Amino acid sequence: MCATCGCGDTAGPRVSVVEEGQHEQVDGHEQEHGHGHGHGHDHQHGHSEHTVLLAQQVLAKNDGIALHNREWMRVRGITALNIMSSPGAGKTTLLARTIRELTRERPIAVIEGDQETRLDAERIHETGASVVQVNTGAGCHLDAEMIDHALRALDPPDGSLLLIENVGNLVCPALFDLGEEGKVVLISTPEGVDKPKKYPHIFAVADLVVINKIDLLPYVEFDVDACIAQARMLNPAVRVVVLSATTGEGMDGWYEWIGSRSAISPVAVDN
């Protein structure tokens, strides 16, 4: 299992392009998560030190690949946003509406992360956007190497907006830099107001917190101001946008923030 977060799958992630009438397997590369074996007789202290060392190695390797991803995208003027949430918060609905309303302004491409199925990628494909699905198997998050393989399969055009829908999880995705220009944490009003207190690390690293499903406020107990205050106690600089991806209320704030994170224009490179 992964020494960092406990996830792992010996089969490795599967990256597939969603196209009309077919699903082409592009990459089945096995992830190297730093697996340890044969330590059943170690003393607890020694095992703990070994685990910490493995975790550091895993994150250091990930950060190196993330740096490569970031440089590759910046040269091409591609703005990548890493969208993280618990399952059911509305990530795919937000992405689908964003694509429909912004696609005339710039090309939009999507990387979908799920443990299994291509259901969300097929929803995105119906909007007309280019999309690849990354199935992580037992893995509970995307990492930079998965994004590297997905970028090779997707090949987004220069100047694209790249929306990365991470695996539904408010813990492990916070640990892994993907090479993105911005980290977005999406929560929804039915989940309750205490998500920042329960999952502080992901809110501490967020560039933007999106509170979704405000159309349900008359029917759920959710104090928007209290939630924003909790998030800003952890991260005073974080931006917060309150919206409904279903009705469209508040989406202008989301689009304004996307514009503020846009990468520089493509840089000419020597062949």
Provide the 3-class DSSP secondary structure of residue 109: strand
pLDDT band of residue 31 (cuts 50, 70, 90) is very low
Helices (H), 43-90: 44-75
**Entry pTM:** 0.82
Show Cβ contacts of residue 27 under 8 Å, excluding neighbours closer than 6 positions: 14, 15, 149, 152, 153
Task: State both tokens at 217.
Answer: 């406020």
Instruction: Determine contact, residues 160/109, Cβ cutoff 8 Å.
Output: yes
**What is the per-residue pLDDT across 155-212, written as a single tens digit (0 to 9) for each?**
999 999 999 999 999 999 999 999 999 999 999 999 999 999 999 999 999 999 999 9
Instruction: Determine contact, residues 93/245, Cβ cutoff 8 Å.
Output: yes
* Cα angle: 54, vertex 56, 57; to 5 degrees: 65
Please state, as a whole number, how many other Cβ atoms lie within 10 Å of the Cβ of residue 201: 13
Amino acid at 104: R
The whole-number pLDDT of residue 1 equals: 46
Strands (E), the chain: 14-19, 22-27, 79-85, 108-114, 130-135, 161-165, 182-188, 208-212, 239-242
Instruction: Determine contact, residues 149/128, Cβ cutoff 8 Å.
Output: no
Least confident range from 3-7, 237-241, 264-268: namely 264-268
The whole-number pLDDT of residue 13 equals: 75
- The C-alpha atoms of residue 206 and residue 202 are separated, in whole angstroms, by 6
**What is the per-residue pLDDT across 207-249, written as a single tens digit (0 to 9) for each?**
999 999 999 999 999 999 999 999 999 999 999 999 999 999 9
If you search the block for the tokens 């969603």, which residue do you land on? Answer: 18
Pairing of strands 161-165, 79-85: parallel
Please state, as a whole number, how many other Cβ atoms lie within 10 Å of the Cβ of residue 134: 27
Closest CA to 124 of 116, 132, 114: 132
pLDDT band of residue 24 (cuts 50, 70, 90) is very low
